[in-house]
Amino acid sequence: MFSNYLIGLREGLEASLVVCILIAYLVKTGRRDALRPIWIGIGVAVALALGFGCALEFGSQELTFEAQEALGGSLSVIAVGLVTWMVFWMRRTARHLKSELHGKLDAALQMGTAALVATAFLAVGREGLETALFVWASVHAAGDGTPRPLVGAALGIATAVFLGWLFYRGALRINLAKFFTWTGGMLVVVAAGVLAYGFHDLQEANWLPGLRDRAFDISDTIPPDSWYGTLLKGVFNFQPDPTVLQVTVWLLYLIPTLALFLAPVGFASGKGKVKAPDEQGSRPSKAPQA
């Protein structure tokens, strides 16, 4: 549940910041008439993400076991790739987010209503599709038949929306650079577990026949049905009896990716701390006025 809460919080907060920037800019520039197309675009993006998630969940149930495992493994690998790209992209470009969105919004204002809808849809839709795919892959890897993973994701998104509203009203100030660094690092750890289990699914589908021997088996020490075994599986997608391929993939992804992500760069080392949306695209110092 916690891993899905983290996914919903991280992705949801990015989308909330985007919405906050777009709305604050339109209000400050006296273009309240353009707010309706923006909300339409946001609504369509949310509906698309929900529809995509439902299609993944219910569509996969009609497949054979081998096809389900192949689909789950393939989408897990794709989801990890998208999330890895996302955390590195956000770390590198967050301080330029405001100016980039303002430029796109200015161009859309000149082109008309349809362009405004498309701008909001594209800005929020990418986050929504990534969230739906990664949550589905994480739930699939955890093998939890209860609604708790989805509840965790929903709570994360709700928290992100609330934080976005507080940013917009100027009631909350946090160091977003540190926030995205810490949550990004934790997502890399979660992604490593999803990727390892994705390769397990591909093995079950007979797409990867090699390295099927168990690397180790500590089921007696950490029973999968114990509270701590369930906790480890829910948070890190931990498996007490992984194959050699799973452990190899987990190590080859986690160690270099986490090292690269945590390596000092100008954005993360303090030269460019993320500021408010009216300064650098994160949070306004006060509520915008028309």
What are the Cα distances from residue 45, in Å, to 19, 49, 82, 169?
Answer: 12, 6, 18, 24
211 backbone φψ class: left, alpha, beta (φ>0; ψ -120 to 50): left
Q: How many angstroms separate the CA atoms of 177 and 116, rounded?
A: 29
Q: Mind listing the pLDDT tens digit of every residue in the chain (290 residues)? A: 667 787 788 778 878 877 887 888 888 788 788 888 888 988 998 899 889 888 887 877 777 888 888 888 888 898 898 889 888 877 776 666 667 777 877 888 788 778 878 878 887 887 788 888 888 887 776 665 555 667 778 888 888 888 888 877 765 666 666 777 787 888 888 888 889 888 988 888 888 877 778 888 888 888 877 777 776 776 677 788 888 999 999 999 999 999 998 887 654 444 444 444 444 444 444 444 43
Question: How many residues can be counted in the chain?
Answer: 290
pTM above 0.95, yes or no: no
